[in-house]
Structure 1
């Protein structure tokens, strides 16, 4: 099975920080986006594939198929899993995917979200998903870029 080198919650999915910092920091060679809406949008999926270096493979899976598809990736895959919402990682863990840690990156404010830490915001539903992730023994921390110190989400809830 592939090795998961990074699991990250980020509204923007594939963007500059992921491509320039997290990719290099993690040593990843295969990005997996888990988002049912993006998976259903071939134009958006193709745009993201163009943003990824040619040496890095990119797949987009729905939330329902992600655990199985990730489990089928080759042993040589060093996987970065990206999702917009913590509920995705809660589901992946419940489905049996081993996630040692999950990093909260970009979660911007909106009408449903309240400030959690600096520029990170979460809705009540997302905070509950954070608790469920932590209860499953997964290390959940905030780290916007690799050079930032990590902040435990558990201490903020």
Structure 2
């Protein structure tokens, strides 16, 4: 299972590079607003290749879904650090967290070309590190980025 933070959630880069890289057959988009918006879900489904299952889950649903579905070949997408931390604290454990894209906005520090972190983001990521999660800062699979928190 590959867990990724990308504020764009599902987009071409995820479908064209990460999906084959992790050999996932299932995509779990864990995002409360998107889980409640069937129109946006339908639009995103149009881009998903045949043979790939996609589910749009709220933070409350993800752990129950994973227990019932037994997904081991999934690409799990979160829009932000806080949501990944909430899911982790509720029992969705993961060993590696890929931080793929977090746009710059005022109050955030640009730590590399595709990642800007707020103080809250840094605190959240440090918390996950203390819990044993390794951070993987990559926008695409073939480019490793070193970021120090």
Aligned residues: 149
Question: Please, what is the CA RMSD of the aligned residues?
Answer: 1.4
Distance 1:69 1:48 in 2: 20
* 1:10 matched residue in structure 2: 6
Alpha-carbon separation, structure 2, partners of 1:93 and 1:131: 13
How far 1:48 sits from its partner (Å)? 1.0
Confirm or deny that 1:34 pairs with 2:30.
yes
Alignment partner, residue 92 of structure 2: 97
Distance between the aligned counterparts of 2:26 and 2:13, measured in 1?
A: 16
Is 1:62–2:76 an aligned residue pair?
A: no
Match of residue 47 from structure 1: 43
Per-residue deviation, residues 5-59 of structure 1 (Å, max 9, x unmatched): x100001111111111101100000000010011111111111111111210000
Conserved? CA contact 1:7–1:81, under 8 Å? yes
TM-score (norm 2): 0.93
Give the Å deviation of 1:98.
Answer: 2.4
Unaligned runs of 5+ in 1: none
The TM-score with structure 1 as length reference comes to: 0.88
C-alpha separation between the residues in 1 aligned to 2:132 and 2:87?
13
The equivalent residue for 1:132 is 127
